[in-house]
Amino acid sequence: MISCIMYNNLEQFGGVLHSAFQLRHESFIERQSYDVNSYDGLEFDQYDTPAAVYLVYHDDEGTALGVNRLTPTIVSGMLHDLFPSLVEDKSILKNSKIWEGTRYCIKKDLPSQLRTEIIHEMAIAYLEFGLDQKIDKIIGMMPTYIYRSVFERPGIEMEYLGDIQKIDNQNIRAVAIPIEDEQLTNVRKKTGIHDRMLRYSWRKKEEGNESKQVA
């Protein structure tokens, strides 16, 4: 399962979120040498605010193995602030129906089967979250080889928001995931995963898989 961590359920997931920031430090600073903020082995930036939501794949002990951050673009956005040239239609960069995904990472050296499981479940969790919150799209920027492997391969159809640009010697593109029931159906069919992946509570069994709206 993947936990959806936000300001109003931190009391349940504080340890998991701490582990997620550790994983980000390992992934972006130790492995990729990002020049970003860190403190006591945790990576963070200006978009880690009360508006941020974290989708975290973790084990029963609360150790994060995969993480992604989602933020409403109407509040803040990396594409809007730092990389608007990647996007042709600037109107999507501040839109109450559009969220931005950033800081996607998976723990290094996991068994290939587990890594694939995390990728597939994260793709489903993206769509479940979007449908829960009734948003239209999740946008983001990433190297082309990454969005192909973590989103397109599990069956998500992407929209390209602009041309590929070379940034730090990588081919980077801004993309969007349209949030539609058909997308989720397609990913479930391709991955063979039909259970709900996203949870908003630490409880192992949720009554009716209830989801909470982000305030």
Q: With respect to residue 203, please indicate whether it lies within any of the assigned structural domains.
A: no
pLDDT at 211 over 80: no
- How confident is the model at residue 154, as a pLDDT? 96
Give how many domains the chain has, as a whole number: 1
pLDDT at 98 over 70: yes
- How confident is the model at residue 190, as a pLDDT? 97
pLDDT at 196 over 50: yes
**C-alpha triplet 208, 65, 172: angle, nearest 5°:** 105
Tokens 């159809």 sit on residue: 157
- What backbone phi and psi angles, to 5 degrees, belong to 101? -100, 130
Which tokens is 136 given? 């239209």
- How confident is the model at residue 208, as a pLDDT? 43
Q: With respect to residue 215, please indicate whether it lies within any of the assigned structural domains.
A: no
Q: With respect to residue 198, please indicate whether it lies within any of the assigned structural domains.
A: no
- How confident is the model at residue 35, as a pLDDT? 81
Angstrom distance (rounded) from CA 10 to CA 16 = 9
- How confident is the model at residue 161, as a pLDDT? 98
Q: How do 198-199 and 38-39 pair as beta strands?
A: unpaired
Q: With respect to residue 212, please indicate whether it lies within any of the assigned structural domains.
A: no
Q: With respect to residue 202, please indicate whether it lies within any of the assigned structural domains.
A: no
Q: How do 2-5 and 53-58 pair as beta strands?
A: antiparallel
**What domain range is 101 assigned to?**
2-193
Angstrom distance (rounded) from CA 145 to CA 165 = 13
**DSSP state letter for 213:** P
Q: With respect to residue 14, please indicate whether it lies within any of the assigned structural domains.
A: yes
Residue positions counted in the chain: 215
pLDDT at 48 over 90: yes
Angstrom distance (rounded) from CA 23 to CA 42 = 8
Angstrom distance (rounded) from CA 197 to CA 123 = 10
As a whole number, the mean pLDDT across the chain is 92
Angstrom distance (rounded) from CA 44 to CA 39 = 8
- How confident is the model at residue 203, as a pLDDT? 59
Average pLDDT over residues 81-99: 97
What is the reported pTM? 0.91
pLDDT at 103 over 80: yes
Instruction: Indicate which CATH number applies to the domain containing 53.
Output: 3.40.630.30
Q: With respect to residue 207, please indicate whether it lies within any of the assigned structural domains.
A: no
Q: With respect to residue 104, please indicate whether it lies within any of the assigned structural domains.
A: yes
pLDDT digits (tens, 9 = 90+) for 167-190: 988 999 999 999 999 999 999 999
pLDDT at 33 over 90: no
| Lowest mean pLDDT segment, chosen from 65-79, 120-134, 146-160, 195-209 | 195-209
